[in-house]
Structure 1
Amino acid sequence: MTPQVDRVYVIELCSGELRHWRFLGLDRRETAWWRDEETGRTFSEASLMYVWEIVAEA
């Protein structure tokens, strides 16, 4: 699934935990940015240190 800007997705972490992340888009270096809807933290995919996948659009 290719994420669309400003849409929220259900993300499954390698631990099995489900999170809701909003896709913020790509920066000029083509790095993808997300915001965790529960914590409000913004992060890039490059900063993640665990395996995850998009399960569905929320």
Structure 2
Amino acid sequence: MFVIELGETKINPYYLQAFLSSDLGAMILKNIYISGAIPTITLDKLKRMIISLPPLEE
């Protein structure tokens, strides 16, 4: 289990939750899973995940 701590001056946590729940976010997460009996995401792959960010004002 990982905890993602956010710098709220860089990203709105509600945006991140909405992004990861979107079709694009789900596709990105699916691409970093390691297949097995229990799908897993490694810390290294999580750190390398790219998230599209609009300006914070939006």
Q: TM-score range by the shorter chain?
A: under 0.3
Normalising by structure 1, we get a TM-score of 0.26
Q: Which has the higher contact order (CA 8 A, sep 6+)?
A: 1
The alignment's TM-score, normalised by the length of structure 2, stands at 0.26
Choose 1 or 2 for highest CA Rg: 2
